[in-house]
Amino acid sequence: KNEVEQSPQNLTAQEGEFITINCSYSVGISALHWLQQHPGGGIVSLFMLSSGKKKHGRLIATINIQEKHSSLHITASHPRDSAVYICAVAKNYGGSQGNLIFGKGTKLSVKP
């Protein structure tokens, strides 16, 4: 079983819809990252969080440390949000040297 699981793998939405992407992990972490990879291949860091909730524009990320779960929400989705969204966790420093583990990504396609 992968230490970081994302769902769904693929997601198609209509413009304007509210979107949720989920990430579950099975290891102790010091932080969780959400990354966005555009169709051209470039990767952008969206959020880094270790507790609670963060918001940037139409994007909201939440994390529940006790449940080992994080969600990425997109409100009022737009075709330009089409990308692969990747969850990554940084293991606890007291664990295996703080390595970064990636989920397989969620491919989002927003139709106009």
The answer to whether 27 contacts another protein (rule: CB under 8 A) is no
Residue 23: other Cβ atoms inside 10 A: 25
Binding flag, residue 26, another protein (CB under 8 A): no
What is the spatial distance between Cα 35 and Cα 44, in angstroms, rounded to a whole number? 6
Please state the closest distance from residue 109 (CB atom) to another protein, in A: 18
Q: Is 68 left (phi over 0), alpha (psi -120 to 50) or beta?
A: left
- Phi first, then psi, for residue 42 (nearest 5°) are -65, 145
Q: Smallest distance from the beta carbon of 73 to another protein, in angstroms?
A: 19
Among 17, 28, 48, 58, binds another protein (CB under 8 A): 48
Asked if residue 70 lies in contact with residue 49, where contact means CB atoms within 8 angstroms, the answer is yes
Residues in contact with another protein, counted by CB under 8 A, come to a total of 22
Choose the stretch contacting another protein; rule: CB under 8 A; options: 8-16, 54-62, 69-77, 82-90: 82-90
Binding site for another protein (CB under 8 A): 30-31, 33, 35, 41-45, 48, 86, 88, 90, 97-105
